[in-house]
A and B are shown apart, each in its own frame.
Chain A
Amino acid sequence: MSETKLRIRIYTVADFYEEENWLREEHQKGWKLTKMTPPCFYLFEKCEPEDVIYRLDYKNSTGTDDYMQMMQDYEWEYFAQCIGWLYFRKPASRITTENEGELFSDNASRIDMLQHVIRTRMLPLLIIFLCCVIPNTLKSFDNEFGTIFTIFWVIMFVIYALIFIHCGRKLWILKKDLE
Chain B
Amino acid sequence: MNDKIRRIYVPMTETGFYILFCLQKPQHGYGIGQQVKQMTDGAVIISPGTMYGTLSKMEKDGLIRFHSSEDKRKLYEITTLGQEVLHLEINRIARLYKNSREELPHE
- Whether chains A and B associate is yes
Interface residues of A (CB under 8 A from B): 57, 65-71, 73-74, 76, 97-100, 102-106, 108-109, 112-113
The answer to the question of B29 belonging to the interface, with a C-beta cut-off of 8 Å to chain A, is: yes
0/1 interface trace, chain B 6-43, chain A, CB 8 Å (1 if under): 00000001010000000000001110010000000010
- B30, B46, B73: the one within 8 Å of A105 (CB): B46
| A88: min CB distance to chain B, Å | 9
| A98: min CB distance to chain B, Å | 8
Q: Of all chain B residues, which has the CB nearest A107? A: B13
Report how far A145 CA is from B42 CA in the complex, Å: 67
A74 — which chain B residues lie within 8 A by C-beta?
30, 33, 47-48
Does A100 lie within 8 Å of B72, measured CB to CB?
Answer: no
Q: Of all chain A residues, which has the CB nearest B57? A: A112
Does B13 lie within 8 Å of A108, measured CB to CB?
Answer: yes
Does A109 lie within 8 Å of B50, measured CB to CB?
Answer: yes
Does A106 lie within 8 Å of B13, measured CB to CB?
Answer: yes
B53 — which chain A residues lie within 8 A by C-beta?
104, 109, 112-113
- A70, A98, A100, A106: the one within 8 Å of B52 (CB): A70
Give the A-B pair count, Cβ closer than 8 A: 65
- B15, B71, B73: the one within 8 Å of A106 (CB): B15
Does A97 lie within 8 Å of B42, measured CB to CB?
Answer: yes
Taking each of A67, A97, A105, A113, which has the highest tally of chain B beta carbons within 10 Å of its own beta carbon? A105
The answer to the question of B79 belonging to the interface, with a C-beta cut-off of 8 Å to chain A, is: no
Report how far A105 CA is from B33 CA in the complex, Å: 12
- A67, A76, A98, A105: the one within 8 Å of B50 (CB): A105
Q: Of all chain B residues, which has the CB nearest A57? A: B49
The answer to the question of B51 belonging to the interface, with a C-beta cut-off of 8 Å to chain A, is: yes
Report how far A102 CA is from B51 CA in the complex, Å: 12
Report how far A108 CA is from B51 CA in the complex, Å: 11
